[in-house]
Structure 1
Amino acid sequence: MADSKSRTIILDKIKKSLQTTTNRPFDNITQNTQIYQPQNEDLDILFAEQFTKMQGQFNYCTSEQDAAENIAQLCNSKNWQAIFIGNPQIQNILSKIPSQHFTNNLATSNVSVTFCESLIARTGSMILSSKSSDGRTTSVYAPAHICIAYTDQLMYDIKDGIQHLQQKYSNNNIPGMITLATGPSRTADIEKTLVTGVHGPKEVYCFLIERNW
């Protein structure tokens, strides 16, 4: 009985609070305020530095063919026999890899290969979204994830990446899921011990392809 009364009091307080508007304490702050000042070094160098700091493995490629050769070499060195690709364009790029190494079953794959929406240089992150033909789970389900990106997808900060999404899809068509992936999956929930690969890929690779158009 006492619990029911307490619950009613709390709910009444919440309703009253929701009905009362509160003035903004900092009206002079705008969304255009630059919090992080861009560094002088190139975005590709900054991204590579931050990405590798977060245990990602970075590879700069001069062309799609260069990327395909490097990815094939990586797959051979890792002995990955089940490569999952959900995007037809990526399948064309990696067409020289023997077809028997590809799989349609993400659940049993060794590695997945995807594109991304953009790369965030300041944090070494990849922005992924549900609008991509790669799907929602492709980048997080397999034990390893390879992201193929292009130099014109490099952005300095997360804010720039979000603005890019707004321009690309328009505000009325923003993807239902936007993911910011920074290096391999890791958690320290259990006894404060850092463990990788619990909630996503244990290995993350980025192949950045030079493109100037």
Structure 2
Amino acid sequence: MADTSRDIILRRIREALQKPAEQPARPDFSAALHPRPVSEEDLAIDFAKNFVRVGGLFYYCESEEHFYDQLFAYKKEKELERLFVWEPELKKLLHDGNIVFQGDETEFLAHADAGLTSCEALVARTGSILVSGASSSGRRLSIYPDQHLVLARTSQVVPDIGDALKLVQQKYGPDRIPSMISLTTGPSRTADIEKTLVLGAHGPRSIVLFLLDDAPAATT
């Protein structure tokens, strides 16, 4: 008696179940995520381009004096009455440059115009800033004020996110990773309501980076 169509289907099902299912190829986690590597020589340039592309405001500072001039001009242009700065190193730097700032939390919630913080790293690939809660700025100063100002050095620019996380691990050790690590890519934004873009929905409406060149001077 010839097999019916039903018998053929059932036999094929039984045969298939007796064979182990084909498994997808094992991913190579050591392979580069992006096919095009970022040039080590152009890290700062790549970062600046991508940072501006995602809506950041970028200032290149040749020296600390240049940083003072640009920060003073920015404060005047934006009419910032209160610039909150909580990190001792930044306080000393601004004090040396005669830049007025708010060094404590007095009226922070009511008048958080802007906050100046440091960062852990800058990611050239995406134009992102990596901050953590381990500094004296804590979790709030990079999120609550209307404007987030960041002072970073060219030595902090790395190619990709993985490189930035390695810097954090090297700095704090594998057992003392900060409890908060945030990757900021451009100003806070959302278009959830009627596809209308709104800035500052979940954080600062603007992010400003002052990149201080700390590369050793070339010798001739």
State the Cα deviation string for residues 145-203 of structure 1 (Å, max 9, x = none).
10000000000100110111111111111111110001110001111111111111111
Once residues 135 and 60 of structure 1 are traced to their aligned partners in structure 2, the CA distance between those partners, rounded to angstroms, is 25
Correspondence for 2:37: 38
Unaligned runs of 5+ in 1: 1-23
Q: Which has the higher helix share?
A: 1
Give the TM-score, by structure 1 length.
Answer: 0.83
Distance 1:103 1:176, change over 3 A: closer
Amino acid in the other structure paired with 1:158: I
1:66-145 aligned within 5 A: 66-95=66-95, 96-98=98-100, 104=105, 105-107=107-109, 108-145=111-148
Correspondence for 1:159: 162
Once residues 203 and 71 of structure 1 are traced to their aligned partners in structure 2, the CA distance between those partners, rounded to angstroms, is 15
Once residues 102 and 72 of structure 1 are traced to their aligned partners in structure 2, the CA distance between those partners, rounded to angstroms, is 17
Unaligned runs of 5+ in 2: 1-22
Equivalent residue in structure 2 for 1:209, among 201, 204, 212 = 212
1:159-198 aligned within 5 A: 159-198=162-201
Aligned residues: 189
Once residues 57 and 171 of structure 2 are traced to their aligned partners in structure 1, the CA distance between those partners, rounded to angstroms, is 28
Question: 3-state DSSP class of the match of 2:122?
Answer: strand
Once residues 66 and 88 of structure 2 are traced to their aligned partners in structure 1, the CA distance between those partners, rounded to angstroms, is 19
Q: Is the 8 A contact 2:91 2:103 kept in 1?
A: no
Q: Is the 8 A contact 1:129 1:179 kept in 2?
A: yes
Cα RMSD of the aligned pairs, angstroms, is 1.9
Correspondence for 1:12: none
- Flag as ranges the 4+ runs of structure 1 deviating above 6 A: none
Deviation of 1:98 after TM superposition, in Å, equals 3.3
Q: Is the 8 A contact 1:150 1:211 kept in 2?
A: yes
Give the TM-score, by structure 2 length.
Answer: 0.80
Q: Is the 8 A contact 2:123 2:159 kept in 1?
A: yes
Once residues 170 and 43 of structure 2 are traced to their aligned partners in structure 1, the CA distance between those partners, rounded to angstroms, is 21
| Structure of larger gyration radius | 2
Q: Is the 8 A contact 1:119 1:125 kept in 2?
A: yes
Correspondence for 1:29: 28
Once residues 148 and 206 of structure 2 are traced to their aligned partners in structure 1, the CA distance between those partners, rounded to angstroms, is 6
Q: Is the 8 A contact 2:94 2:100 kept in 1?
A: no
Q: Is the 8 A contact 1:106 1:141 kept in 2?
A: no
